[in-house]
């Protein structure tokens, strides 16, 4: 076994990371979002903030093959492309914040972002206005900053765009496609900036298998007729992950 994989297998808390990514994959498969919201708070307990972002993005590649083919048939390509173009420009700033800020600050930022998103969705927040091209660009740009800084690529999109009342199938497809695009952008930026290491790659490889398989399971469970059930389950799992990953339970890395 290559040394970097041996090092990955020796990662403290690996079993918890595997179980968390498996649950996150199921939720991502049927809801279209939730991976980072579930994985990041727990992963922050065992890994540095930089490693968490890298692992989150790399494992996201594992779900692409499972989820993208169906999503591409339904997604609104023009809207997603606008958001993706804006995110490309702002991801470097998010990664700069990740590098400059201390670990505890990043963990609290991730906790606050996840909590605000979850609270808004649970209490039925809905954006009532028209989402035009300018707003699409703003959504994508903000998602790029938050994604680069914390690994939480989805909350802004979910709150301001995907919570706008669109059909469940379109919401799910758009989210999957945008998050896939953002994963690639962040990975490329981290590679260029030297933030990716062989150890992180090894951890991601170990986690990709359960994530891919669980994403397929979640996708097979998806049906627009059960949208409310999916959302309730996703919210409950996200809330548990956020509470478990609060920085007050452990020392920051």
Backbone torsion region of residue 57, taken as left when φ is above 0, otherwise alpha when ψ lies between -120 and 50, otherwise beta:
alpha
Phi-psi group of 165: left, alpha or beta (phi > 0 → left; psi -120 to 50 → alpha; rest → beta):
left
Please give the pLDDT value at position 186.
94
Split at pLDDT 50, 70, 90, the class of 60 is confident
Among the residue ranges 8-22, 37-51, 158-172, 214-228, the one predicted with the least confidence is 158-172
In this prediction, residue 174 carries a pLDDT of 84
Rg over CA atoms, the chain: 17
Statement: residue 66 has pLDDT above 60: yes
pLDDT, mean over the chain: 85
Q: Which of 207, 244, 197 is nearest to 17 (CA)?
A: 207
Domain ranges of the chain: 3-249
The pTM for the full model equals 0.82
Question: Which two three-digit tokens encode residue 4?
Answer: 């970097």
Whether 174 contacts 132, CB under 8 Å: no
Determine the average pLDDT of the residues in 196-203.
91
Percent above pLDDT 90 for the chain: 37
């Amino acid at each position: 076994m290559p040394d970097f994989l041996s090092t990955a297998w020796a990662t403290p808390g690996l079993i918890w990371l595997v179980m968390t990514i498996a649950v996150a994959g199921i939720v991502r498969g049927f809801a279209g979002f939730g991976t980072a919201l579930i994985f990041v708070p727990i992963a922050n307990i065992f890994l540095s903030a930089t490693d968490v972002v890298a692992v989150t993005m790399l494992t996201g590649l594992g779900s692409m093959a499972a989820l993208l083919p169906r999503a591409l048939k339904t997604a609104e390509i023009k809207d997603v492309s606008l958001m993706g173009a804006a995110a490309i420009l702002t991801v470097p700033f998010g990664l700069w914040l990740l590098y400059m800020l201390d670990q505890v600050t990043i963990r609290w930022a991730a906790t606050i972002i996840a909590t605000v998103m979850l609270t808004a969705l649970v209490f039925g927040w809905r954006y009532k206005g028209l989402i035009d091209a300018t707003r699409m660009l703003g959504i994508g740009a903000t998602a790029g900053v938050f994604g680069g800084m914390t690994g939480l690529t989805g909350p802004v999109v979910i709150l301001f765009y995907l919570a706008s009342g669109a059909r469940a199938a379109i919401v799910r497809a758009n989210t999957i496609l945008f998050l896939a695009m953002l994963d690639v952008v962040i990975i490329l930026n981290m590679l260029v900036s030297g933030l990716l290491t062989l150890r992180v790659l090894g951890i991601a490889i170990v986690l990709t298998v359960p994530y891919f398989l669980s994403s397929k399971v979640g996708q097979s469970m998806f049906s627009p007729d059960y949208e409310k059930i999916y959302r309730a389950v996703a919210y409950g799992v996200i809330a548990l992950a956020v509470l478990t990953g609060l920085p007050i339970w452990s020392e920051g890395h």
